[in-house]
Structure 1
């Protein structure tokens, strides 16, 4: 399993979760866990996803998610699980 973490941050609006989940479904990326909250009008979501069966490369998915975020007015970041695992070993 190739896990990655997606973060989404921005002003709350209708459809953020729908847009991101629709993109992931089309890209064949499975959502393993999801947490979202709204604080003082700001939307914040974190997802753990499985990239094992993704149709495109990790780099391409990163770029496409960034473009999606720009399109819907939020910041979307995809990071590989290894970054977090190695960060905690230091």
Structure 2
């Protein structure tokens, strides 16, 4: 299992979760856990997923998510769990 953390932040609008989850499903990326909240009109989501079964490289997945985020008008970034955990310790 290759756990990764997907973070999404931006102004709330219809379809953010749907578009991101559709992308993950198309890439055969399994969602393990998801947490999202909306505060004063701003959307915030953290999603833990398993990228191990995707046919794309992690770099290609990251680029696809970032580009989808731009299309949706939000900032979307995926990091491998080990890198995310290391950054939280700094």
Fold equivalence (TM over 0.5) = yes
Q: Cα distance, 1:83 vs. partner?
A: 1.1
SS of 1:6 mapped into structure 2: strand
The residue number in structure 2 matching 1:68 is 68
Q: Which structure 1 residue ranges, 5 or more long, are not aligned?
A: none
The residue number in structure 1 matching 2:79 is 79
| Stretches (4+) displaced over 6 A | none
CA contact (8 A) 2:5 2:84 kept: no
Q: Over residues 12-64 of structure 1, what are the superposed CA-to-partner deviations in whole Å (9 max), with x where a residue is unaligned?
A: 00000000000000000000000000000000000000011012000000001
Q: CA RMSD in A?
A: 1.4
| Partners of 2:17 and 2:74 in 1: CA distance | 11
| Partners of 1:67 and 1:75 in 2: CA distance | 9
Q: Which structure 2 residue ranges, 5 or more long, are not aligned?
A: none
> Does residue 2 of the first structure (1) align with residue 13 of the second (2)?
no
